[in-house]
Structure 1
Amino acid sequence: MSWNEPGGDKKDPWSGRNNENSPPDLDEVIRSLQDKLGGIFGGRSGGGDPEGAAIKGIGYLAAGAMVLWGLSGLYTVDEGTRGVVTRFGAYVETTSPGLNWHMPAPIEQVQVINVEQQRFIEVGYRSGSGQAMGSVPKEAMMLTKDENIVDVRLAVQYQVKDAKDYAFNVLDPNSTLKQVTESVERGVIGASNMDFVLTEGRSEIVMAIKAEIQAVMDAYKAGILVTSVNLQDAQPPEQVQGAFEDAIRAREDKQRLINEAEAYSNDVVPKARGAASRIVQESEGYKVKVIAEATGDVSRFSQLMVEYKKAPAVTKQRMYIEAMESVLGRSNNVLVDVKGGNNIMYLPLDKMTNRSTEEAVAAPVSHEPVSTSLPPVKEFKSDIRASSRERDVRGR
């Protein structure tokens, strides 16, 4: 119960007096409070100037409070972050990593922004830890240039490039970037055919989307740098996926057959060109050979014609002898002159015959006289030439 209520101990907690009828003495209360503060700050209780001691104590309290308030303005900016300082809500400066100070609240405040963190947004799908990728038809379904519907899922990674712009120019940068991405994506997809989106045009579409998103965000001065745009998936709607898969398989079979035909062509055409070149070169060589042989025959015939005009009989006899020499050189006959001698000759006719046959088969057919390697035949031919020369001399 209270001290001044019936049944209480009737003691005044401020003055220590037992006064149950009158209110507490205000001067006594102030004096008691001064004594207590003087004891705390080194003053003497019950002596000196009470009012001066009170003012001095209040000054100490105010100075201590000011020191604590000033120390509350110290803050640390970590590596990879920036501190945006505002004074009564207005931008003041951007601080770098390290220990910094600002005027404590409520005058100035600091917003620390991570400028190296890789942030990302998902358009057309949602993914989470341990969850499968789920499509969001409202964002994923888009109309192409050829009036087809395609399901596109896009992921955009970005980071802060200007902490001031990121903090002040856009109310919700993440939401703004998502809306810009969806708008740009629909514009790029709407300007492309469906086959281009599903097959060879993915890289071009991603580059175009990234460039246009960055241009729009720079125009907004959002302080955002788009680092990458990933086309997670692009496919026809679920209702017609079977038909599109059949079309894709047919396109792949077509490309495979084209590749096989090109490989066969690359194998056959060089061989055919090589064979054609070889035939052309052989024909050129044959042409040169025939022309040379014909030129030689004409030259020999011209020279022979001159000699024939000088001595027709001798030339005729010589031509006959050369023709016989060429004929007999390829035959198996062996001629031996035994006149004027009684020597018995031993000839290995079987070996000579086989050797002559092999040489005749191996030797090419030529218009030039072919001489045999058999000594008796050569001697016989020499005798024939000598006798023909003697007859020519006598005839002359």
Structure 2
Amino acid sequence: MAWNEPGGNDKHQDPWGGGNKGNNQGPPDLDEVLRKFQQKLSGLFGGKGGGSTSGRRGSGSSGMFSLVVIIAVVLYVWNAVYTVDEKEQAVVLRLGKYHDTVGPGLHMYFPPFEKKFQERVTEFRTYNLRQQMLTEDENIVEVAMSVQYNVGNLKDFVLQVEDPISSLEHATQSALRHVVGGSEMHSVLTEGREALADEVKERLQAYINLYKAGINVGRINVEATQPPREVQASFDDVIRAREDKERVQNKAQAYSNAIIPEARGEAQRKLEEAGGYRQEVIAKAEGEADRFSRLYAEYQKAPEVTRERLYLDALQEVLTTSNKVLVDVKGGNNVMYLPLDKLTGGNTGVNTSTSSTGLTQQEMNSIANRVADELRKRTPTSTRTGRTVR
């Protein structure tokens, strides 16, 4: 039978320790439960059980207050103790003023007199930006980039600027507009992207230092630079035309690199040949002049002999390179005549080309005619025959 059922008389079955008083079938008395609980607390904190009712109530109130105090102290200490890991730092304010910056470890502060701000200082965060702006040559470009940053000075990050992240965003936009506004569109869209990122980083860090926001800019990546979508097709045409221009220029430069050295080599060869011919002519002229001077000296010594020798040398040079006609003279010596055009069947026209002697054909023919006349004069008329041998 249950302890609270009618007829139950075993007081040990009552979980609240009460017996069967007058067959009371209702729930246990809450005041009695609370009183017993206070007695137990009083016993824990030095109180004595028993006594009058007023004494028991005083001891219960004192123990309850002590428990509340202990719980409050435990909760206070629990909230005051905090841990800073290796990636973090914490700034502690005492009575609203900066007190200390603590590093990794177990620390304690005392609210409400102190207040702490805890942040990750070694972890890099990323801020993404995409915006359109004007270039120096009044073209519109769209730039997308990301900014990697971390907290460099936690004290400044917490105390100097109300919203450091918002300040970073505004400073990034200002630095980007300043750099792009001083650059040409072609540079921003092509080979100038790396220089653009470096200049934006330098200017952005200068702004952040001026604000004392406590942020360190790690790296800026220019992810995309392009014209507005409305003119993308036209811009692609311009890019292709510029690439064709560069291709043609490179081809022309390659041809120039091939033909110019060849032309310079040919020019140098001709200059060397001309120099050689010049030296040859000068040497020959100097030799002829020296020979003439020596010959003139000999002529002054023996004019008749020298004149005869010069005559024979000239005649030999002329006859050596010409066809000859031999005339058999009866009773005399055979005489060589210069070939006449009619006798040899050669060209009757006047040849003005220069021979190896330095004389033209016309001059040689004239000399030959004079020599033939001179020979005829020396040969008697009665001794001539008409037999001719070629």
**Displacement of 1:303 after TM fit?**
1.0
Q: What pairs up with 1:298-309 in 2 under 5 angstroms?
A: 298-309=289-300
Aligned counterpart for 1:84 among listed residues 79, 85, 91? 91
Q: What does the per-residue CA deviation read over 1:325-382, in whole Å, with 9 as the maximum and x for residues that have no partner?
A: 9899999xxxxxxxxxxxxxxxxxxxxxxxxxxxxxxxxx899xxxxxxxxxxxxxxx
Q: Does 1:113 align with 2:113?
A: no
Cα distance in 1 for residues equivalent to 2:37 and 2:216:
67
Counterpart of 1:296 in 2: which secondary structure? Answer: helix
Check the 8 A contact 1:15/1:28 in 2, yes or no.
no
**Cα 1:95/1:315, change in 2 over 3 Å:** farther
**Displacement of 1:244 after TM fit?**
1.3
Question: Greater CA deviation, 102-111 or 268-277?
Answer: 102-111
Q: What does the per-residue CA deviation read over 1:47-85, in whole Å, with 9 as the maximum and x for residues that have no partner?
A: xxx99xx99xx69x969957993996363431x543323
Q: Which amino acid aligns with 1:302?
A: S
**Displacement of 1:297 after TM fit?**
1.5
Count of residues paired in the alignment: 302
Check the 8 A contact 1:188/1:208 in 2, yes or no.
yes
Q: What pairs up with 1:208-223 in 2 under 5 angstroms?
A: 208-223=199-214
Aligned counterpart for 2:108 among listed residues 92, 102, 107? 102
Aligned counterpart for 1:292 among listed residues 274, 277, 283? 283
Q: What pairs up with 1:1-396 in 2 under 5 angstroms?
A: 33-38=41-46, 69=77, 73=81, 75-78=83-86, 80-97=87-104, 99-124=105-130, 140-316=131-307
Cα distance in 2 for residues equivalent to 1:30 and 1:201:
81
Cα distance in 2 for residues equivalent to 1:27 and 1:159:
60
Check the 8 A contact 2:142/2:227 in 1, yes or no.
yes
| TM-score normalized with structure 2 length | 0.60
| TM-score normalized with structure 1 length | 0.59
How well do the aligned residues superpose, as a CA RMSD in angstroms?
4.9
Q: What does the per-residue CA deviation read over 1:183-233, in whole Å, with 9 as the maximum and x for residues that have no partner?
A: 332344344444443345434433433233222211111111222222222
| Percent identity over paired residues | 39
Counterpart of 2:45 in 1: which secondary structure? Answer: helix
Check the 8 A contact 1:121/1:174 in 2, yes or no.
no
Q: What does the per-residue CA deviation read over 1:307-336, in whole Å, with 9 as the maximum and x for residues that have no partner?
A: 1221234445655777789899999xxxxx
Check the 8 A contact 1:82/1:113 in 2, yes or no.
yes
Consecutive unaligned residues of structure 2, counting only runs of 5 or more, are 1-6, 51-55, 323-355, 359-390
Check the 8 A contact 1:87/1:108 in 2, yes or no.
yes
Consecutive unaligned residues of structure 1, counting only runs of 5 or more, are 1-6, 125-139, 332-364, 368-396
Cα distance in 2 for residues equivalent to 1:117 and 1:239:
39
Check the 8 A contact 2:89/2:118 in 1, yes or no.
yes
Q: Which amino acid aligns with 1:177?
A: L
**Cα 1:223/1:251, change in 2 over 3 Å:** same
Cα distance in 2 for residues equivalent to 1:30 and 1:151:
75
